[in-house]
Amino acid sequence: MAIRIVREDGDEILRKKSREVEVVDDKIRQILDDMVDTLHNYNGVGLAGPQIGLLKRLVVIDLYDDKGPIKLVNPKIIKQKGEQKVEEGCLSFPNQFAKIIRPLEVTIEALNENGKKIKLKGEGLLAQAISHELDHLDGILFVDKIIPGTLQYVEPDDEKNK
Protein backbone atom coordinates (compact mmCIF):
# COMPACT_ATOMS: atom_id res chain seq x y z
CA MET A 1 0.00 0.00 0.00
CA ALA A 2 1.14 3.50 -0.75
CA ILE A 3 0.24 7.13 -0.36
CA ARG A 4 -0.51 8.60 -3.79
CA ILE A 5 0.04 12.22 -4.81
CA VAL A 6 -3.23 14.17 -4.80
CA ARG A 7 -3.69 16.29 -7.92
CA GLU A 8 -4.61 19.87 -7.13
CA ASP A 9 -6.47 22.79 -8.69
CA GLY A 10 -5.13 23.57 -12.14
CA ASP A 11 -4.21 19.96 -13.01
CA GLU A 12 -6.04 19.25 -16.26
CA ILE A 13 -6.74 15.61 -15.33
CA LEU A 14 -9.31 16.86 -12.79
CA ARG A 15 -11.45 18.13 -15.71
CA LYS A 16 -11.42 14.88 -17.69
CA LYS A 17 -14.07 12.17 -17.74
CA SER A 18 -13.02 8.83 -16.25
CA ARG A 19 -13.36 5.50 -18.04
CA GLU A 20 -15.20 2.46 -16.74
CA VAL A 21 -13.12 -0.28 -15.14
CA GLU A 22 -13.39 -3.40 -17.31
CA VAL A 23 -12.18 -5.98 -14.78
CA VAL A 24 -11.91 -5.77 -11.01
CA ASP A 25 -8.62 -7.56 -10.38
CA ASP A 26 -5.73 -7.44 -7.91
CA LYS A 27 -4.36 -4.31 -9.57
CA ILE A 28 -7.67 -2.47 -9.06
CA ARG A 29 -7.88 -3.73 -5.46
CA GLN A 30 -4.33 -2.41 -4.87
CA ILE A 31 -5.29 1.00 -6.27
CA LEU A 32 -8.39 1.09 -4.03
CA ASP A 33 -6.23 0.22 -0.99
CA ASP A 34 -3.75 2.96 -1.94
CA MET A 35 -6.67 5.39 -2.30
CA VAL A 36 -7.87 4.56 1.22
CA ASP A 37 -4.34 5.06 2.58
CA THR A 38 -4.09 8.37 0.74
CA LEU A 39 -7.51 9.46 1.97
CA HIS A 40 -6.55 8.71 5.57
CA ASN A 41 -3.17 10.40 5.18
CA TYR A 42 -4.91 13.66 4.22
CA ASN A 43 -7.82 13.20 6.68
CA GLY A 44 -10.31 13.30 3.82
CA VAL A 45 -13.80 11.84 3.54
CA GLY A 46 -13.68 10.83 -0.12
CA LEU A 47 -11.25 10.38 -2.99
CA ALA A 48 -11.83 9.67 -6.69
CA GLY A 49 -9.51 8.17 -9.31
CA PRO A 50 -8.76 11.45 -11.13
CA GLN A 51 -7.54 12.99 -7.88
CA ILE A 52 -4.61 10.58 -7.91
CA GLY A 53 -4.07 10.92 -11.64
CA LEU A 54 -6.07 7.87 -12.78
CA LEU A 55 -8.95 8.30 -15.20
CA LYS A 56 -10.72 5.24 -13.82
CA ARG A 57 -14.19 5.22 -12.27
CA LEU A 58 -12.93 4.43 -8.75
CA VAL A 59 -14.09 6.06 -5.52
CA VAL A 60 -13.33 5.53 -1.85
CA ILE A 61 -15.28 7.11 1.00
CA ASP A 62 -14.70 6.88 4.73
CA LEU A 63 -16.99 8.54 7.27
CA TYR A 64 -14.73 7.19 10.04
CA ASP A 65 -17.57 5.19 11.55
CA ASP A 66 -17.92 1.53 12.45
CA LYS A 67 -18.60 0.60 8.80
CA GLY A 68 -15.06 1.41 7.64
CA PRO A 69 -14.06 2.59 4.17
CA ILE A 70 -16.41 2.14 1.21
CA LYS A 71 -14.70 1.11 -2.05
CA LEU A 72 -16.67 1.65 -5.25
CA VAL A 73 -15.94 0.65 -8.84
CA ASN A 74 -17.99 2.18 -11.70
CA PRO A 75 -20.53 3.83 -9.34
CA LYS A 76 -23.68 5.38 -10.84
CA ILE A 77 -26.39 7.38 -9.11
CA ILE A 78 -29.71 5.72 -9.95
CA LYS A 79 -31.92 7.80 -7.65
CA GLN A 80 -31.66 11.03 -5.69
CA LYS A 81 -34.08 12.81 -3.41
CA GLY A 82 -34.31 16.15 -1.65
CA GLU A 83 -31.56 18.66 -1.18
CA GLN A 84 -29.26 19.89 1.54
CA LYS A 85 -27.12 22.98 1.84
CA VAL A 86 -23.70 21.83 3.02
CA GLU A 87 -20.24 23.20 3.62
CA GLU A 88 -17.80 21.38 1.42
CA GLY A 89 -14.09 21.17 0.79
CA CYS A 90 -11.94 19.00 -1.46
CA LEU A 91 -8.50 17.44 -1.14
CA SER A 92 -7.70 18.86 -4.59
CA PHE A 93 -8.48 22.39 -3.30
CA PRO A 94 -6.59 22.49 0.01
CA ASN A 95 -7.91 24.86 2.68
CA GLN A 96 -10.85 26.05 0.55
CA PHE A 97 -14.44 25.62 1.66
CA ALA A 98 -17.78 26.77 0.30
CA LYS A 99 -21.51 26.14 0.59
CA ILE A 100 -23.01 23.78 -2.00
CA ILE A 101 -26.44 22.30 -2.66
CA ARG A 102 -26.27 18.50 -2.72
CA PRO A 103 -28.95 15.78 -2.74
CA LEU A 104 -30.20 14.76 0.71
CA GLU A 105 -30.39 11.10 -0.35
CA VAL A 106 -28.78 9.15 -3.17
CA THR A 107 -28.96 5.52 -4.24
CA ILE A 108 -26.13 4.14 -6.31
CA GLU A 109 -25.20 0.95 -8.10
CA ALA A 110 -21.56 -0.03 -8.27
CA LEU A 111 -19.18 -2.94 -8.08
CA ASN A 112 -17.39 -3.60 -4.81
CA GLU A 113 -13.69 -4.44 -4.56
CA ASN A 114 -14.46 -8.05 -5.46
CA GLY A 115 -16.36 -7.16 -8.62
CA LYS A 116 -19.75 -7.95 -7.07
CA LYS A 117 -22.65 -5.67 -8.01
CA ILE A 118 -23.93 -3.70 -5.01
CA LYS A 119 -26.61 -1.11 -4.32
CA LEU A 120 -25.97 1.55 -1.68
CA LYS A 121 -28.22 4.22 -0.24
CA GLY A 122 -26.67 7.25 1.38
CA GLU A 123 -28.23 10.08 3.37
CA GLY A 124 -26.77 13.29 4.74
CA LEU A 125 -22.97 13.29 4.78
CA LEU A 126 -22.74 10.00 2.88
CA ALA A 127 -25.04 11.34 0.12
CA GLN A 128 -22.91 14.48 -0.02
CA ALA A 129 -19.65 12.52 -0.24
CA ILE A 130 -21.02 10.16 -2.93
CA SER A 131 -22.28 13.09 -5.03
CA HIS A 132 -18.99 14.96 -4.66
CA GLU A 133 -16.83 11.99 -5.63
CA LEU A 134 -19.03 10.89 -8.54
CA ASP A 135 -18.82 14.45 -9.90
CA HIS A 136 -15.02 14.01 -9.97
CA LEU A 137 -15.45 11.01 -12.27
CA ASP A 138 -17.09 13.32 -14.82
CA GLY A 139 -14.61 16.19 -14.47
CA ILE A 140 -16.98 18.28 -12.34
CA LEU A 141 -15.42 20.03 -9.35
CA PHE A 142 -17.03 21.41 -6.21
CA VAL A 143 -15.97 24.95 -7.20
CA ASP A 144 -18.31 24.62 -10.21
CA LYS A 145 -21.29 24.34 -7.85
CA ILE A 146 -20.57 26.80 -5.06
CA ILE A 147 -23.21 29.20 -3.87
CA PRO A 148 -21.82 32.60 -4.91
CA GLY A 149 -20.06 34.48 -2.15
CA THR A 150 -19.48 31.46 0.10
CA LEU A 151 -15.95 30.41 -0.96
CA GLN A 152 -13.49 30.80 1.92
CA TYR A 153 -9.80 30.13 2.24
CA VAL A 154 -8.73 28.86 5.65
CA GLU A 155 -5.08 29.27 6.62
CA PRO A 156 -3.59 25.83 7.32
CA ASP A 157 -2.39 26.89 10.79
CA ASP A 158 -5.75 28.35 11.90
CA GLU A 159 -6.69 25.19 13.78
CA LYS A 160 -3.44 25.22 15.75
CA ASN A 161 -3.93 28.83 16.88
CA LYS A 162 -7.25 28.16 18.62
Give me the active site residues, please. 133
Burial class (CB within 10 angstroms; exposed 0-12, middle 13-18, buried 19+) of 112? middle
Say if residue 122 is exposed, middle or buried (CB neighbours under 10 Å; 0-12, 13-18, 19+). buried
Give CA–CA dist 14/22, Å, rounded. 21
CA distance 52 to 38: 9
Q: Cα(141)–Cα(134) distance, rounded to whole angstroms?
A: 10
